[in-house]
Amino acid sequence: MSLVRVDAPQPAATDAKPALFAALSARFGDRFSTSASLRAQHANTLTWIPCQPPDAVIFAETTEEVVAVVALCADARIPVIAFGTGTSLEGHVNAPFGGVCIDLSRMNRILAVHEADLDCVVEAGVTRKQLNEHLRDRGLFFPVDPGADASLGGMAATRASGTNAVRYGTMRDNVLALTAVLADGRVIATGTRARKSAAGYDLTRLLIGSEGTLGIITSLTLKLYGVPDTILSAVCPFASIEGACLAVIAALQIGLPLARIELADAVQIRACNGYSHLTLPEQPTLFLEFHGTEASAREQVASFAEIAASEGGGDFQWAERQEDRTKLWQARHDAYWAARGLQPGAELLSTDVCVPISALAACVGETREDIDRLGLLAPIVGHVGDGNFHVMPLFDPNDPEERRKVQGFLDRLIERALRFDGTCSGEHGVGQGKIGYLAAEHGLGVEVMVAIKKALDPLNILNPGKIFRYHHDG
């Protein structure tokens, strides 16, 4: 295997693109477009990474259409970038080498719900909110919740996670099977509806988190859960971030089945109060949710209240009614927008790392010191039950010195996470933004990933320039 090098995919013939576009236009009519505004909407929108629009956008409606596009693009040596809702944060949908963006948002059919088996089959463009609205009357829900109303295909492709992961797992844990279109246009179905299998390599998990570089996911079989009898939500302020982290560690150690346990630091609480019209004390705060029967949820609350008190936690503020609960979690989910509101006009970088839970207080503490030393405004929020936290520095994008400062902060954040035996990304993925850190985390493992990429996409047409940049030598 060759070393990982920076390179473009195999160049297309000069006349390949016009011929390809003519063919696509003939087949897809007005579902094929090269309009500048549409192309820009399909490039990166929520990161500090510059937009790199594709050359064209196609709205696909079936797996067969995705096959047709991929096969034509493969013939022409033109990249293909899958697009769900565009809410990824590391440049995943950018088109650094141009190419055709396949927008899957119209593949939004819920194909089956198997209530007895607690699973469902959906097309890749179904969003998590759409699915949960569909399930509501059946007393079931899909738990993975990254905040944004992302498409389930995109969530699988980026191995998304979120506030419920401590109890219900991430996309890695909640996808039973996938249908995906490979780089040569073949279609694979990676699993069955069996809850477990020991039959061959785990292609489902290989595709989850592959960010559209190994295949384009067109449908998914997902695990579902019964809506718990009782859901209790609360916020609890702490005297220090360390105290809040220690309370979480203690709760996990005694096996409390916390459904959600989210940290927001004082800066983030100030932002949330402003954006979501709350009046929370501006202190490090845990957002909590307990699921269970009435009795077991109350038992969990009592156990956690005792732990919190011993770590400097203040009074719980309960959200008793469904509407209060929704408001509370909407405020948590709007952390990104609230943070942006702290300094209108500023650019915001949302990044994340994940460390072993015992290192969380130290890692967050050092990170806060670094932020203060740099004089940055940078709220911290975290899925602390997983050891996963987000930092969102605000900066002036036109000030090269500020950009440099933020880049240095980011480098140190990741160096720190790796030093604590953590990962450079808990849930945002690699995309373009974290390519540079992958070798530090995985060493030779990156070469194994590249070998797999080359084996399955020798022309490097599937979302090139993401996860790693690799040299096409075939």
Residues 353-372 close enough to bind a copy of itself by CB under 8 A: 354-358
Q: Which of residues 411-430 bind a copy of itself (CB under 8 A)?
A: 417-418, 421-430
Nearest distance in Å: CB 44, a copy of itself: 17
Residues 381-400 interacting with a copy of itself (rule: CB under 8 A): 386-388
User: Could you tell me the smallest distance in angstroms from the CB atom of residue 171 to a copy of itself?
Assistant: 9
Distance CA 142, CA 129 (A): 9
Q: How far is the CB of 58 from a copy of itself (least distance, A)?
A: 24
Among positions 260, 332, 434, 469, the unique one binding a copy of itself when judged by CB under 8 A: 434
Q: By CB under 8 A, how many residues form the interface with a copy of itself?
A: 92
Instruction: Please state the φ and ψ torsions of residue 145, each to the nearest 5 degrees.
Output: -145, 90
Q: Name the 3-class secondary structure at 118.
A: coil
CB of 455 to a copy of itself, least distance (A): 4
Of the ranges 35-43, 58-66, 332-340, 454-462, which one interacts with a copy of itself (CB under 8 A)? 454-462
Tell me how many helices (H) and strands (E) the chain has: 17, 20
Q: Of the two residues 2 and 330, which places its CB atom closer to a copy of itself in the complex? A: 2
Helix or strand (DSSP H, E) at 205: helix 203-207
Q: Find all residues with CB under 8 Å of 435, minimum gap 6, and list them.
A: 466, 467, 468, 469
In the chain, the N- to C-terminal Cα span, in Å, equals: 12
Residue placing its CB nearer to a copy of itself in the complex, 362 or 376: 362
Residue 410 interacting with a copy of itself (CB under 8 A): no
Closest CA to 107 of 88, 130, 89, 87: 130
Q: Which of 67, 244, 335, 449 binds a copy of itself (CB under 8 A)?
A: 449
Q: Does 208 bind a copy of itself (CB under 8 A)?
A: yes
- Is residue 194 packed enough to be buried (19+ CB in 10 Å), middle (13-18) or exposed (0-12)? exposed
Smaller CB separation from a copy of itself, 155 or 272: 155
Nearest residue to 265 (alpha-carbon basis) of 414, 391, 420, 394: 391
Q: How many residues would you count in the chain? A: 474
Residue 180's DSSP bridge partners are 188, 217
User: What is the DSSP code (8-state) at residue 422?
Assistant: -
Q: Compute the least distance from the CB of residue 40 to a copy of itself, in Å.
A: 26
Contact set for a copy of itself, span 225-264 (CB under 8 A): 225-226, 228, 249, 252-255, 257
- The helix (run of H) or strand (run of E) holding residue 123 is strand 119-123
Which helix (H) or strand (E) element contains residue 380? strand 380-383
- The amino acid at 411: D
Nearest approach in angstroms of CB 148 to a copy of itself is: 15
The residue assigned the tokens 């505004």 is 37
Give the one residue of 438, 459, 461, 462 binding a copy of itself; rule: CB under 8 A.
438
Does position 114 bind a copy of itself by CB under 8 A?
Answer: yes
DSSP state of 469: -
Tokens of 157: 């492709």
Near a copy of itself by CB under 8 A: residue from 13, 26, 36, 116:
116
- Out of 18, 50, 408, 445, the only residue in the binding site for a copy of itself (CB under 8 A) is 445
Provide the minimum distance between the beta carbon of 118 and a copy of itself in the complex, in angstroms, as a whole number: 7
Q: Is residue 11 near a copy of itself by the rule CB under 8 A?
A: no
Contacts (CB under 8 A) with a copy of itself, residues 288-327? 292-293, 295-296, 299
- The distance of closest approach from Cβ of residue 457 to a copy of itself in the complex, given in angstroms and rounded to an integer, is 10
> Distance (Å, rounded) from C-alpha 407 to C-alpha 64?
42
* Closest distance to a copy of itself from the beta carbon of 134 (Å): 18
* Cβ partners under 8 Å of residue 443, min gap 6: none
CB 216 within 8 A of CB 103: no
Place of tokens 């293909």: 80
**Is residue 351 a contact point for a copy of itself (CB under 8 A)?**
no
Decide whether 220 or 235 has the Cβ nearer to a copy of itself: 220
Binding mask 35-74 for a copy of itself (x = CB under 8 A): ----------------------------------------
Q: Under DSSP, is residue 254 helix (H, G, I), strand (E, B) or coil? A: coil
The CA distance from 432 to 155, in Å, is 17
Angle, CA 89 vertex, CA 99 and CA 187 arms, to 5°: 50
The 174-203 contact track toward a copy of itself, x by CB under 8 A, reads --------x---xxxxxxxxxxxxxxxxxx
Taking residue 442's Cβ as centre, other Cβ atoms within 10 Å add up to 15
Site for a copy of itself in 146-175 (CB under 8 A): 158-161, 165, 169-170, 172-173
- Does 265 bind a copy of itself (CB under 8 A)? Our answer is no
12 vs 459, which CB is nearer to a copy of itself? 459
State in angstroms the smallest separation of the CB of 110 from a copy of itself: 17
What is the rounded distance in angstroms from the CA atom of residue 269 to the CA atom of residue 285?
Answer: 8
